[in-house]
A and B are shown apart, each in its own frame.
Chain A
Amino acid sequence: MDGTPLIRLADVSKVYHLESGDFTALRHISLDINEGEFVALMGPSGSGKSTLMNQLGILDIPSAGEIFIAGRNIAQMTNLERTHMRRDVIGYVFQKFYLIPLLSAYENVEYPLILKYKKRDASGRAAAVLKSVGFDEEMSAHRPNQLSGGQQQRVAIARALVNDPKIILCDEPTGNLDRKTGFQIMDILADLHKKGKTVILVTHDPKIAEYAHRTIQLEDGRVVES
């Protein structure tokens, strides 16, 4: 690490222009997240957590201010560069898993590798990552609808990890799971953090937030605690 934060938000605001008028979802947010941090984003509904996650996941660009990820200003990148950064630098884990229903568990994990290397995975990386999240190898050929919620989330984590991203973004990763399975998933994320990944998760659950080493509290689009 050279002291530069992995993620830097400088006076970031996000305004949505709605028919009913402008709605400001983020207000002048400035924060740094260093490589290797485990951060929990918390706050009530409508506080701007999801909007902030979308900014961090480069799914959107701010209305004002600047966001730097791995040293690059995302507003100055082309669409294609942003797409490649999502593919190579960021791993996204969603609350609803969002596996591709037409692909098997193994193919879901292999998919980002194919996007990156433009060929099928012959290195065994997809299988190895699936194994690392405790996913039963025999289940690899199953389609998402044949898997339990916990199994689907493991596959989703494996998919997020397979291109060895620096940042893992988790949007309420345990929200659709029972408590026991939720903690199992959090154990996997904690383990990834130990291995040097930067993990940022959105949660409502203080118990889940306890896994993080830093909590950023949002309220009405502002950071009230960091």
Chain B
Amino acid sequence: MKGIFFNLSVRSVRLNFLRSLLASIGIVIGVVAISSMGMLGTNMQLLVKDQLTTGINIIMVTPDVVMAEPGSSVSSSNGITDIQLREIRDAAGVNDVIPIDKGSTQFSIGSNDGRGSIYGLDPDDIRSIMNVSEGTTIRGESDAIVGATIASRFDIKIGTRIKIGEPNISVTRPVVRVAGILPAAGLSSSNGINTDNAIIVSDTWYTSQFGEGNLYDQVNIYLKDVSTLTEVEDAIDKKVNRNKEVVRISDSSSRITSVSSTLSSLTTFIMAIGSISLLVAATSIFNVMMMSVSERVQEIGVLLSIGTETGEVRRMFLYEAFILGIIGAGIGGIMSVIIGYSVVSAMIGNTAYFFLPESIVYIPVGMIVGMIVCIISGLYPAWHASNMDPIDALRSE
């Protein structure tokens, strides 16, 4: 039964092939817009999420109150004490615990002055959490390694000397020698330290210059098993914040949730913009369907007068809209792979996530939305055709 009406619809589309194809192009554009935008947003989300999750196995413990020392070039805090560090180590169990001294400082390289973070770590710890892209790690007392941004901005080479502290004629500033340069870490570094704009020195050098040997600005816990994150955080909290909150315990998970949520909203927004093209397509399909109905008024009159049910006439025109949808969505689906891939490649520069299910799913989603739009556009013309008065329809020229 479906056959004859479907055949009639196929033949009608074929008879007006160019017109049908042009109407379908609207759907093609709509499907491509929705799919590509969806894939772009998702690929962006996946990339950012992946970048952020590189440091998700790190718990950062910082002192609850941060204070700046008056008259010092380095702002610091009251810090985490040796006792607290020991408690953190106890609570962290098998996981690595690395205390970090940090502050921000001015520095000079030749005649150029700059400002950046300065970290003091045990050289063994530096070795375990940082890999230099150039040079070596810290070996001597006054060796330093620098982040990629500082290195490129000040054209730092291995062996370059950096004067640390505020330029002051009356005081000789301490000097460190660049032993190594770190690779760019981007949004989130794998070691939980933002090293791009930082100078990393040994803890002994840091203490000798900035004091506070028994106070640390931050303690990082590197989890061996990320699933124990909450458990370890709870243990530290219980152990260190016994009576009052003396340290803050944080990780990247909340940041990931927040960034993912923002990117998800962004994806929805750009998909909504893409779907505007589907509205244009819907108008085009509606127009073509109305033309098809008005060109076939007499035929509709014949169909009704020889005993075709109104539902069958309706179905015939809905099939036509469906066929236009199939053509548009089919071509749109294929184009979405090509255009979506190009857009993701051009705008994100990374197509590693493109074929993942959560990304590629936007192609069938776009196709289904395109087809639904087509069928909805065909509803009124089909209803109009099936409710014609057969006598008037037969009389029409």
Contacts and interface: CB of A to CB of B under 8 A. Distances in A.
Interface of A: 54, 57, 59-60, 79-80, 83-84, 86-88, 92, 94, 98-103, 107, 111-112, 114-116, 118-120, 159-160, 163
Contacts of B308: 83, 87, 115
Contacts of A79: 310
Contacts of B1: 114, 118-119
A92 B12 contact: no
Nearest to B395: A50
A102 B11 contact: yes
Given A59-B391, A100-B303, A101-B299, A120 B310 contact: no
B309 A86 contact: no
Interface of B: 1, 3-4, 7-8, 11-12, 15, 298-299, 301-310, 312, 390-391, 394
B300 to A, nearest CB: 10
B391 A120 contact: no
A88 B4 contact: no
A206 B156 CA distance: 112
B305 A60 contact: no
Nearest to A169: B305
A98 B302 contact: yes
B55 to A, nearest CB: 65
A102 B12 contact: yes
Nearest to B311: A80
30 contacts: A59-B390, A59-B391, A80-B309, A83-B309, A84-B307, A86-B306, A87-B306, A87-B307, A88-B307, A92-B305, A94-B302, A98-B394, A100-B299, A100-B302, A102-B12, A102-B15, A103-B7, A103-B8, A103-B11, A111-B306, A112-B306, A112-B307, A114-B3, A114-B4, A115-B306, A115-B307, A115-B308, A115-B309, A120-B3, A159-B306
Contacts of A107: 4
Would you list the 10 A-B pairs with minimal beta carbon distance, nearest first?
A87-B307, A102-B11, A118-B1, A98-B302, A86-B307, A114-B4, A59-B390, A59-B391, A83-B309, A115-B307
A101 B300 CA distance: 11
Nearest to B9: A102
A112 B391 CA distance: 19
A119 B11 CA distance: 19
Contacts of B394: 94, 98
Contacts of B7: 103
A98 B298 contact: yes
A80 B301 CA distance: 16
Nearest to A160: B306
A123 B9 CA distance: 25
A101 B302 CA distance: 11
Contacts of B303: 100
Give the one of A80, A102, A112 with max B CB within 10 A: A102
B8 A100 contact: yes
B310 A86 contact: no
B307 A54 contact: no
Contact of B4 (A57, A83, A98, A111): A111
